[in-house]
Amino acid sequence: MTLVEKQYKEPFLNYIRYDYCENPDEYKLIEIIISDQPSKMYDAILRHKINKNIKKISFGRTHGVIYKDTTKIKFYKTHGTLKKDSQKIFRIMNKREIKKKFSEKYFANKYLYSD
């Protein structure tokens, strides 16, 4: 049983891993946890405001270079380069995806490529 399961007392048996939210205004960010996928750094746990369903959005490649880890966990702070070039390149390459609230690139930009 993971920390999130203990805290919210809801099993993750019926959750689906998503790349984005269809209606982001209907969801609330619960917390950021370390991902169970070996290729991703973190998972964002979102809860629907009305029916209380949970979504899990994985973000941050473990083999990629990030600018700076600004999550509360700071598990990958040694991966950061603090080079503005990596921040600019990420934002140029993912212009459209960053604007989609609660998407994979939105979380990466907010927590891994911000000051």
**What band does 52 get if pLDDT is binned at 50, 70 and 90?**
confident
Domain ranges of the chain: 3-112
E-strand spans in 49-101? 54-61
**pLDDT tens, position by position, 13-28:** 445 566 667 888 999 9
Quote the tokens at residue 49: 């405001």
User: Would you say residue 78 has pLDDT above 60?
Assistant: yes
Strand order in the sheet with 17-18: 17-18, 54-61, 40-48, 27-34
Percent helix, strand, coil in the chain (nearest 5)? 30, 25, 45
What's the token pair of residue 21? 């939210």
Average pLDDT on 83-97 reads 90
Which residues share a beta bridge with 55? 46
Reported as a pLDDT band with limits 50, 70 and 90, residue 82 is confident
Amino acid in position 26: E
Q: What is the mean pLDDT of residues 34-59?
A: 91
Contacts of 112 (CB under 8 A, 6+ apart): 41, 59, 60, 66, 67, 68, 69, 70, 71, 76
